[in-house]
Amino acid sequence: MTKASHKKQPIGVFDSGIGGLTVANAINTHLPNEEIIYFGDTAHLPYGDKSADAIRYYCLKIVKFLLERNCKMIVIACNSASSAAYDVLVDFFPGAAIFVNVVDPLVESVVTKEYKKVGIIATKATIRSDVYQRKLREQQPHLQVVALPTPLLAPMIEEGYFHNKVSQVLIETYLSNKKFAGIEALLLACTHYPLIRTDIENYLGKGIEVLDSTLVTVKAIETKLGKQDLLNNKKDNEHQFFVSDYTQSFEETTRLFYNEHLQLDHYAIW
């Protein structure tokens, strides 16, 4: 059991920037009674180009910030952070909250199916960690897994360049890689990528399933809260959104990841 003891305690969600708002938005949609405290570490984005040690350091500081705000659950809404820091965070804050990453739910959704070959696109840090490849092979040793870092996609999305020629050219450049020949599914292992899921599906065509972690992570959140009887059954919440470095452009860009305008509060955690 964790120290979380009350259904009305908030869920803490964090990412290197605002890509994790795709997860926060899904929580808000499917678990509308839950209060969310979001932290985007915009001072250090993108995590995908950082070392694992640097990512762990940032995550420890952010989780401390969220726990100080009495969060019952911490959702690591970033694949780079999930792959580099999840185990460290669980060990460093034993029993302090329920921890959920975005890697395990996506892996579990893949292994329930009978794929022979799957592809993965993600940041450099996520691909370098080998976390998806390792976890998938542990559960399905005969599954062929091919992975490709796609570092230009996240900054492209944050700048609003998708559903246009820019995104089409980048997606085609990456996905035309010969290693993806014969894949039956493509894993979008970055919380930015759901915003270009349609573009990717259009390029790949029918017959290749495109999977992301958004909805499967929300299901994992619901299951874990339910097991500890911590699902909030009354809507009386007020969400809070913090960033470590504020710019007007970030506040405007949040509309891309969250279906409404958000007020971002600058909190100088560093």
Q: Is the pTM value of this prediction over 0.85?
A: yes
Provide CATH code, domain 11-101+215-266: 3.40.50.1860
- Tell me whether the CATH fold assigned to 11-101+215-266 matches the one assigned to 104-214: yes
* 104-214: CATH class: alpha beta
78 catalytic? Reply is yes
Residue holding tokens 């029918």?
206
CB atoms within 10 A of CB 252: 11
To which residue do tokens 């710019």 refer? Answer: 247
Q: How confident is the model at residue 1 (pLDDT cuts 50, 70, 90)?
A: very low
If you average pLDDT over every residue of the chain, what do you get?
93
Q: Is position 190 annotated as part of the catalytic site?
A: yes
Choosing from 11, 98, 131, 190, which is the catalytic residue? Answer: 190
Q: Which of 11, 75, 78, 156 is catalytic?
A: 78
pLDDT in tens, 17-62: 889 999 999 999 999 999 999 999 999 988 988 999 999 999 999 9
The pairing of beta strand 117-122 with beta strand 185-188: parallel
Instruction: Spell out the domain ranges in the chain.
Output: 11-101+215-266, 104-214
